[in-house]
Structure 1
Amino acid sequence: MAQIAKQTLDKICLFTLNCRLFHGNRKLSSADLQSALNVTIDVDKTKQVMALGVKRVFDKAELAKLGAVKGAMQRACSSIGAPFLGGFAIPDHKAQDLAKELNVLVTRGLSLKADLMARYPQILDKFAKQNPRWEAIIKGNAFDIAYVDAQIQFDWDGVRISAGDEGGLMAKGLESKVGGLLGNLLNDIAKASSKLLDESLKNRDGVTRKAFRPLLAMADKLDGFNFVDPRVGALASMIRHVLSVMPPEGRIEGADLRNLYGLTSILSSPDQALVIGTKVTESDVAMVYDEAFGQPYKAVAPKALAVPAPSQPFPKAPGLFEATPGFEQPRGPAFQPVAYTPPPAANFFNF
């Protein structure tokens, strides 16, 4: 196994979530429709053309509480980790804090499960009575409480990873997975950036500084994986630099909004994000900012961010990956103080 892959494995833990939920569904049959709605349907018995869906035999609202805990566990891992080997690669220095957070969530999930099990018969009876046409079907198709108890599970594992055989098939397979870690990380950043664009930045003529929070979280996540490739840390520095030269108070509008939109657009494309990271490692974050975003506001970071630009350029990345090709001077039109929505396929800075 290549030395750089070994060094990467030495700095991460693999976290996997072992969560299962009770769905509360049964297969819907034509007899159900006949009994509840007096509707006759000739279903294709081979299921080649048509099959009926499912019927809910337990209150969805009660189960949503369990789903919320599972979602919180996934977000806790995703916020600092990258998809890896069916779980999440977590930087070693963040593993203990994550373990504590997951334990709190597991305790919460098991408490909700215990409460659900204690009230299971009452919840089932209430749900059936709320749906009188389906009451007999719901009660007749109810799941045994022991089955439900066995289905619901909240747990997690955190382990270190070793190839097990130097130079063998296992080592080669694991090395290829480590080589894909950078791509997984940037794809995660791209998803979060696309969500930020869609939910907070598109069709806006101004935003508050709350829009900075997801970007700062992305920078923290990228910083945690600087050991994978220095361009990752360089990209984090660019995010902080763009935010640091924004006005320290008031709404973000005009050219500042354009730069915020531009930064988020870059991050939504792994290729473009890596271009910026490469440029910063080869020169200086302030210089790349000028090149990509135009003239800065003021090179003074607001106290709320406390993220001054680095005084020295990052070292050139040795990395697992080849350097990304060049970067062109932006040639986009000047920002107008109206809601800004580029076409879906737009290359924001023409590179």
Structure 2
Amino acid sequence: MTLENQLETLERVDLVSIDCSIWSGRKRLRSDDIKLGAGGKLPPAQVASLGSKRIIDPEDLSVFHALKKRAERTCEAIGVRFLGGYAVPREKTEAVAQTLGEIAKSFTKEKEEFLQRYDGAVEAWVRQYPDFERQLRKELTPLEQVRTRIGFEYAMYRVAGTATATGHLGDQVGRLGSQLLREIAVEARELYEQSFAGSAGSDRKASRKSLGPIRRMREKLAGLGFLDSAVAPMVKTIDALFAVVPKTGPLEDALYDQALSIVLILSDPDKVRRHATAGLNAAGMPAGQDAEEELDPEVEVAVERARTTPARDTPSESLYF
């Protein structure tokens, strides 16, 4: 990526940073916490494990982990990891800020409610395990310490390069396209395992639920298409699938093959790039022997099925690659 392209990329993204801290509710398990020998007991598994002990029910902290995860998913859905945060398309920054603002308010509300019931929650937890009560009570964390260890903040800012030197910033900007395709590949592999693995034989069928992840990957790619020239052809291929998917019913036969081929391509950044450069022949197959030989067997099988049993009203030249 040239310096000009790097600067242009920086002009099209904003950086979102999430700073979320959640008190663990744990303390180190000490040797004197465990009684061995005659009459000795190991601490309950719910209380102690892997060298630590819980001094409060972990369920009391689950809401904070859920809110943190929601914030991360908000950024991951349309942005790509960059400089310890997320590079988000500038036109979508306002929407991300609104969602993160709502999460921040919910986090603050849940924190105050948790702190109000903290003493009672700790007492209830300790009383559940009378045989381990002494070990728990000696490690209780004061309320004010807990207050400082729970928090949620986010920041949004713009990173500017210079015409004279970009240093490591330029290198990281240049890798954003590859990072985008790697993140998409992780999502695609998860989708394959959940919805397509094991069903590529005689039972070529997948639930409509698989369309949701494909659509989300499409939106992320479309929003960040300027990061890599291989993205636009991939988005076009996904759009061809959605153009012919019926409003109801599972993905079957040729439509299943079409969706499977897209997922298999998305699961490997190299396949996405070959998809963008191989070209198509009239049957929807990559033009040229070399391009065809590079395809995985799974993709070849899916494409051959679709070629011989095309989906209704699906243009052959817009099938899988």
TM range (shorter): 0.7 to 0.9
1:21-66 deviation digits (Å, cap 9, x = unpaired)? 01011111121111898259xxxxxxxxxx9611111110011111
SS of alignment partner, residue 327 of structure 1:
helix
Pairing 1:232–2:231 present: yes
> Shift of the alpha carbon at 1:126?
0.5
Summarize the Cα distance change of 1:122–1:241 in structure 2 as closer, same or farther, 3 Å threshold: same
Identity %: 26
Mapped partners of 1:188, 1:173: distance in 2? 21
Mapped partners of 1:89, 1:35: distance in 2? 54
> Shift of the alpha carbon at 1:137?
1.5
Pairing 1:66–2:67 present: no
Summarize the Cα distance change of 1:226–1:35 in structure 2 as closer, same or farther, 3 Å threshold: same
**Aligned ranges for residues 69-88 of structure 1 at < 5 Å?**
69-88=67-86
Mapped partners of 1:79, 1:105: distance in 2? 16
Mapped partners of 2:137, 2:236: distance in 1? 59
Counterpart among 160, 164, 168 of residue 167 in structure 1: 164
1:74-130 deviation digits (Å, cap 9, x = unpaired)? 000000000111110000000000000000011111111000000000000011111
1:300-329 deviation digits (Å, cap 9, x = unpaired)? xxxxxxxxxxxxxxxxxxxxxxxxxx6217
Mapped partners of 1:35, 1:148: distance in 2? 32
- CA RMSD, 1 decimal: 2.7
Per the alignment, residue 26 of structure 1 pairs with 27
**Aligned ranges for residues 167-206 of structure 1 at < 5 Å?**
167-168=164-165, 171-204=166-199, 205=203, 206=205
Q: Tell me which protein shows more helix as a share of its residues.
A: 2
**Aligned ranges for residues 96-115 of structure 1 at < 5 Å?**
96-115=94-113
1:184-205 deviation digits (Å, cap 9, x = unpaired)? 1001101111111112222243
Q: Tell me which protein shows more strand as a share of its residues.
A: 2
List alignment gaps of at least 5 residues for structure 1: 41-50, 293-325, 337-350
List alignment gaps of at least 5 residues for structure 2: 43-48, 307-320
Q: TM-score, normalised by structure 2?
A: 0.82
> Shift of the alpha carbon at 1:242?
2.6
SS of alignment partner, residue 151 of structure 2:
coil
Q: TM-score, normalised by structure 1?
A: 0.75
CA contact (8 A) 1:219 1:237 kept: no
Mapped partners of 1:149, 1:241: distance in 2? 52
1:152-190 deviation digits (Å, cap 9, x = unpaired)? 111100000013x5433xx12111001100011001101
Mapped partners of 1:248, 1:24: distance in 2? 47
**Aligned ranges for residues 1-351 of structure 1 at < 5 Å?**
2-34=3-35, 38=40, 53-163=51-161, 166-168=163-165, 171-204=166-199, 205=203, 206-279=205-278, 290-291=284-285, 327-328=291-292, 332-333=300-301
Mapped partners of 2:50, 2:147: distance in 1? 28
Number of equivalent positions: 287
| AA in 2 matched with 1:8 | T
CA contact (8 A) 1:17 1:157 kept: yes
